[in-house]
Structures are given as structure tokens and as C-alpha cells.
Amino acid sequence: MSRERVISLSEVRTQCQKCSLYQLCMPMGLGDGDLNKLDKIIKRRRPVEKGEFLFRLDQDFSSLYAIRSGSLKTYTSQSDGQEQVIGMHLPGELIGLDAIGSQRHACSAVALETTSVCEIPFDHLETLSREIPGLQQHLFRLMSAEIQHDQCHMTVLARMPVENRLASFLIGLSERYKLRGYAANEFNLSMSRGDIANMLGMAMETISRLLGSFQDQGLIQVERKHIRILDPAGLQAIASNCRELPGKPADSSSSHSA
């Protein structure tokens, strides 16, 4: 399944190790042997082109996907046909966690640009995580972090006025980019204004106006999809969201969607 062509052991061994993101999507502190095992179950697949689906709502669940490059959005379709964007996902993040329980995808994942992912068959991962304690622990923590993140997003949606929501979104994005080694204060939005608005529970026009207003206030600089954060502290102050719990010990790595 995972490895058809014949390759040297050292080549196998380095697949995950050479990925600059493996500490994010997968556990820290695994020995070479463990990493090797992990590597063996991962399927690499051709990149997903912009607009293509990685998986679709209601499809049978079999794998988690770790994003290596590019980005995707996930969304559900309401019974009335309306779409609801759930999240935007960056390199180093793991998607599909919500489908484990029902064994069926609860949302669709579509690439926002050319995106490459590692496919991780979940039954193999489950087996492996029984053998590798650190892996099991990491998975629990990842899922927990996702729960915490979603609860934070619920809070944002329930209480905050639109300004705060958008600031919160931008700060969140910035932090996630930083975590993965990209520039924290300068990045490209891969989602359209419409998608961002949808995700934050507001109208596209409002996003447009707010970006303009943030720019006028000297908080950010916008040029189409390109965002530069000029005043992170000021933006943070507007966001004033669920403070990122520093997390006590170890990882604190993960954080999902926006």
C-alpha cells in the first residue's frame, strides 16, 4: 500500500525527518526507529490542485491528512444548501480528526492552492500509536488542542463584534505562520474575502470595510490578498480573544484552523 517502489532504508528513514514540519504534525521526541515506522505507513500522493477536493462531506473516512505545503479550507453544507466554512488549514496541520467518531467525513476539504499532503491511514496510525506511547499521547493532545481551538472560535462567534472577530482571525493566522517558521507579520490570504466572511459569520462587505478601516488606523497594510501587520499589539488589543493558553509543559505545538 504505502511503498511500492524499492528504496534504500536510509531513504525511507529520512522521508519524515527531512520534512521541516514533522514536529508539528507528528510527535516530537520519537527515536529514529519510531519515526521510521511512522514513515512506513504514510502514503504520499500527487499534489491536490486548487479547487480539487481532498475529501468530501459524507465520504467514508479512512485517513488523516498532514499538510506539507499549500492550504485548504474545510466546510460543511447545510441542509438548505448554504455552505459554512469551518476552517482554513496550513502546512503542519492535520485534518480529518472530526471524522474518526462517525467514520464519515463531516466536512469537505478543498485546496485553496496547489497543496501537497501526507495521507495517514488511520487504522494503521491507531495500531502504531499503541506501540509508540509518545505517538498516542501526541494524538490525544492534537485532538484536544483542536477541541480547545474550536471552543475558542465558538466564543468569538457568539460574543464578539465584527472588528474583534477579524482582528482575532488575523492574529491567529499570524501566530500559526510564525509557528511554522514563516513570517508572522506578512502573509498571503489564500481564502477569498467571501470565505473569510463566511467563516467568521459575517458579510463579505463587512470584511472589506474592516480591512480598509484597519488599514486607515495603521494596524495593517492590505493589498489584495497580501496582508502586512504593522501593529501586532494594536491588533491583538482589538482581538482580545481567548488568550492562547501557554500550555504547561511539553509541546504546545498544535493549533488548528482559524
| Helix H or strand E encompassing 203 | none
Residue 83 found at the interface with DNA (CB under 7 A): no
Site string for DNA, 139-168 (x = CB under 7 A): ----------------------xxx-----
Residue 67 interacts with, from DNA, a second copy, none (CB under 5-8 Å by kind): none
Residue 258 found at the interface with DNA (CB under 7 A): no
Classify 114 as helix, strand or coil: coil
Taking the complex as a whole, how short is the minimal distance between the CB of residue 206 and DNA, in angstroms?
A: 3
Residue 212 interacts with, from a second copy, DNA, none (CB under 5-8 Å by kind): DNA
Q: What is the DSSP string of 179-242?
A: HTTS-SSEEE--S-HHHHHHHTTS-HHHHHHHHHHHHHTTSEEEETTEEEES-HHHHHHHH--S
C-beta of residue 51 within 8 angstroms of C-beta of residue 110: yes
Site for a second copy in 187-246 (CB under 8 A): 198-201, 240-243, 245-246
Q: Could you say which DSSP state residue 66 is in?
A: E
- Least Cα distance to 55 among 46, 45, 64, 47 occurs for 64
Question: In terms of CB distance, is 194 or 218 closer to DNA?
Answer: 194
Instruction: Find the radius of gyration of the CA atoms of the chain.
Output: 19
Candidate ranges 4-12, 18-26, 138-146, 173-181; the one touching a second copy (CB under 8 A): 138-146
- According to CB under 7 A, which one of 208, 217, 247, 250 is a site residue for DNA? 208
Residue 184 found at the interface with DNA (CB under 7 A): no
Distance CA 156, CA 151 (A): 9
Residue 100 interacts with, from a second copy, DNA, none (CB under 5-8 Å by kind): a second copy
Q: Nine-digit cell at 21?
A: 514540519
Classify 76 as helix, strand or coil: strand
- Least Cα distance to 84 among 198, 169, 206 occurs for 198
Residues that bind a second copy (CB under 8 A): 58, 60, 76, 78-80, 82, 84, 86, 97-104, 106-107, 126, 129-130, 133, 136-137, 139-148, 150-151, 153-155, 157-159, 198-201, 240-243, 245-252, 254
